[in-house]
Amino acid sequence: MLNSKILFQMTGSIACFKACQVLSKLAQARYDVQVVATKSALQFVGTATLEGLTGKAVVTDLFEQGRAMDHIHLVRWADLILVAPATANHINKMALGIGDDLLTTQFLAHDFKKPFLIAPAMNTAMYQHPTTQKSLGLLKNMGVEILETASGVLACGEIGWGRLLEPDLILAEIETRLKNSPSASSTLGEIPKTARAAKKILVTAGGTQQPIDQVRHLGNKSTGVTAAGISEVLYEMGFDVIYLQAKGSLSPRTPCEKYSFVTFEDLQQQLRSLLKDIRVDGVVHAAAVADFSVDTIEIDGKTMALNENIKLPTSDTLQLRLKKNPKLVNELRTLAGNSKLPVVAFKMTSHLPVDQARIAIEKVFSESKSNLVIHNDTREIDWDQKKYVYHVYKSKEKIATCENQTELGFQIGNYLMEVDP
C-alpha cells in the first residue's frame, strides 16, 4: 500500500540528477509520487527516467488536452508539495505571483493547508543576489518552507552556497513534515475535515434503467460525463459534493460522498433518504431520469404484470405498456423540507426548433420552480467525442452558453455561491 502523496516539482537545473536520487528514495519508501516538470528541467533529465522512478507519466503542459485542471487537481491531491531543484528564476516568479506555466499556477492554487517545501539550487551569486534573498523571505512569510542550500563545489566549479541539499536530508525533511501534517493521514477519496467549511451540494448523475425482464431494460445514453465534470469544478471551488450516480456511470476524480441507483424507483428512494437525513445547500439534478416505466407486458395477446422473476418467451409479437413516472425535479424541495432550496435542472431536446425548445425550457421552470435550467439539444452533442454545448437559463432568460463541463461547472458554482438556501 502506498504512503502519503507527494507532488514533486522540478525546474531546470543540473541538480535534477540529484533530485532523481530523491525520487528513487521516495519510491523505495513506497510514497505515491507525481512529477511535474518544466520544459527546462526535461533538458537535464528525460521523461523516461522520471517515469521509470515513479511509475507515472510526467506532467509538464498546462494546456495538455484532458488535463486543463491539473494546476488545481494535483495540488488538492497531494499531501505535500516539493520543488527540487528550485532555480532562482522559479523562486522569483513564485514570490511575485507570476503564473505562466504549470508549476507556477499550481503554487497560486496552493491553499497553505499542507506543507510546501522548496529546495533551491543555483550558483552562489544567484543565491545571494538581493532579488533571490528577498523572494525567499517573501515565500517564508507566506508559509512556504525553504530547505536551505548546502555549501560545496557547484556545477560551475566554484565553491560556495547554492548546492542542492543532499537527497538523504531532503527525504528526512519530507518525512518530518508529513508526520506533523494534519493531511498526512488523508487518502484519495477523503476530504480533510479541517480543510472544508463549505456548502453541501447534491449532484445526481447518469441514466436510469427500467427493467423489462431479468436481463432487458429501457435506458438512455447518459454516461454521467456532465455531472462528473460539474462535480470536479464544484469541489475545486470549495463545495462539499454528494454524488448520487447511476451504477456504471462516470465518477468525478475529486473526493466526494458517493451513493448509487439503478432504476427510477432506486433514485427516488435515495433522494428521499438523502434529502431527509442530510441538510444540503443545493441540488444539481443532472441525472437522465426515465419518463416512463414498464407497467405490463403483452405476449401473444396475453397481458403479464411486470415482476422481477418474469422471463420473456420466444414470440413473434410483444407489446410493452408504459406508465408515466413523476418528475423528481419537481419534488426536490418537498423532499428536503426546504421551499427555498436552490435547484439546478436539466432539459435535453432533440432537434427542436428554437421556439419549441424555449417552450420546453419554460415548462421546466414553471413546473419545477428551478433556479437554473441547463438546456442542450442532441444536434449539439458529439457522443463519441464527448463534446457538448450547454445553454444556461436563469429566470427563463439565457445567461450563458458553455462549450464544456468546466465552463458549465463554474457557471453553476458561481450561482450557488451567491444564493442562500
| Residue 364 φ/ψ region, left for φ over 0, alpha for ψ in the -120 to 50 degree band, beta for the rest | alpha
pTM given for the model? 0.56
| Overall size of the chain counted in residues | 421
| CATH 3.40.50.10300 location in the chain | 196-290+325-418
| CATH 3.40.50.1950 location in the chain | 5-180
Cβ atoms of 401 and 389 closer than 8 Å? yes
Q: Selecting from 3.40.50.10300, 3.40.800.10, 3.40.930.10, 3.30.70.2190, what CATH number does the domain 196-290+325-418 have?
A: 3.40.50.10300
CA distance 266 to 207: 12
> If pLDDT is split at 50, 70 and 90, which confidence band does 192 have?
very low
Cβ atoms of 239 and 416 closer than 8 Å? yes
Strand-pair category, 210-211 with 217-218: antiparallel
26 to 35, 87, 121, 159, 327: CA distances (angstroms):
12, 22, 20, 29, 53
Q: Give the per-residue pLDDT at 195.
A: 31
| pLDDT of 190 higher than 50 | no
Q: Amino acid identity of 347? A: K
What pLDDT, in 10s, does the model give residues 14-54?
Answer: 899 889 989 988 988 889 999 999 999 999 988 988 988 88
| pLDDT of 360 higher than 90 | yes
Query: 5-180: which CATH topology?
Result: Rossmann fold (3.40.50)
CA distance 97 to 109: 11
Q: Give the per-residue pLDDT at 161.
A: 64
**Helix/strand/coil (H, E, C) string of the chain?**
CCCCEEEEEECCCCCHHHHHHHHHHHHHCCCEEEEEECCCHHHCCCHHHHHHHHCCCCECCCCCCCCCCHHHHHHHHCCEEEEEEECHHHHHHHHHCCCCCHHHHHHHCCCCCCCEEEEECCCHHHHHCHHHHHHHHHHHHHCCEECCCEEEECCCCCEEEEECCCHHHHHHHHHHHHHHCCCCCCCCCCCCHHHCCCCEEEEEECECCEECCCCCEECCCCCCHHHHHHHHHHHHCCCEEEEEEECCCCCCCCCCEEEEECCHHHHHHHHHHHHHHCCCCEEEECCECCCEEEEEEEECCEEEECCCCCCCCCCCCEEEEEEECCCHHHCHHHHHCCCCCCEEEEEEECCCCHHHHHHHHHHHHHHHCCCEEEEEEHHHCECCCCECCEEEEECCEEEEEECCHHHHHHHHHHHHHHCCC
Enzyme catalytic residues: 156
Q: Which of 179-193, 314-328, 336-350, 394-408 has the lowest mean pLDDT?
A: 179-193
Cell numbers at 49, concatenated: 527516467
Q: Give the per-residue pLDDT at 182.
A: 52
% of the chain beyond a pLDDT of 90: 54
Q: Give the per-residue pLDDT at 196.
A: 34
Q: Give the per-residue pLDDT at 193.
A: 32
Q: Averaged over 151-163, what is the pLDDT? A: 54
| pLDDT of 355 higher than 80 | yes
Q: Which of 88-97, 318-327, 357-366, 401-410 has the lowest mean pLDDT?
A: 401-410
Which one is predicted more confidently, 305 or 104? Answer: 104
Q: Averaged over 253-272, what is the pLDDT? A: 94
CA distance 76 to 70: 9
